[in-house]
Structure 1
Amino acid sequence: MKFLCTGAQLPDNSSRGFDIGNQKLFAVRRGGQVYVYINRCPHRGVGLEWKADQFLDSSNSLIQCATHGALFLIEDGECVSGPCAGQSLTSIACREDAQGIWISV
């Protein structure tokens, strides 16, 4: 398991990017649950963020690709709108404990 951040560093309805080795990842917290994905759009293979740590749409209810506006469900990474509809982001197993958020790598 690899440490990402403390729970306080990822408030509810927020996102945050990480560089772990040569892998770019991002985490989103929604409803107290943490979701971690590889930071790579299935359409163009580019990073998703608008600017540092900003992966969500204006309502904080969907993940949005800054390149072409594709929208992804936070809970499972499925693309629900845009050129990669039906494809999904690659999820990374994670868990949270008193120390913080951990990923399986």
Structure 2
Amino acid sequence: MTVLCAVNDIEEDSARGFDLDGRTVFAVKKDAQVFVYLNSCPHLGIPLEFQPDEFLDMDNHFIQCANHGALFEVETGDCVAGPCVGQALQAIAFHLEDGNIVLD
């Protein structure tokens, strides 16, 4: 069991990355819901952000790959624009426990 952080440690319409022994994941909070994905673009298999915790587009509406601009729906991880349309981010199984985000 791995606790990422408290749900309240992530502000609404923002994201936060985590390094888990060489595997990086990130959590996004949108509409009071949390979503967790592997930090790897399906197009090139590289991290999505250039700067720490910068996973969202300028409007905080989509997850954005900083390398080539692909846009992913926060709720599904589906790519809706860019070179990997039709692919998706890999969701990470988790649950909420005592106000914390806990990986399954």
TM range (shorter): over 0.9
Query: Where does structure 2 lack aligned partners over 5 or more consecutive residues?
Result: none
CA distance in 1, matches of 2:26, 2:78: 15
Counterpart residue number, 2:31 = 31
Please report how far the alpha carbon of residue 2 of structure 1 lies from its aligned counterpart in structure 2 after TM superposition: 1.0
TM-score by length of 1: 0.94
Q: CA deviation at 1:43?
A: 0.4
How far does residue 50 in structure 1 lie from its aligned partner after superposition? 3.1
The unaligned stretches of length 5 or more in structure 1 are none
* Matching of residues 1-105 of structure 1 within 5 Å: 1-104=1-104
**Which whole-Å CA distance do the structure 2 matches of 1:94 and 1:13 have between them?**
19
Identity of aligned residues (%): 47
Normalising by structure 2, report the TM-score.
0.95
Q: Give the RMSD, CA atoms, in angstroms.
A: 0.9
- State the distance in 1 between where 2:99 and 2:33 align: 15
Aligned residues: 104
Provide Cα deviations, 1:49-80, integer angstroms capped at 9, x if missing partner. 13100100000010000000000000010000
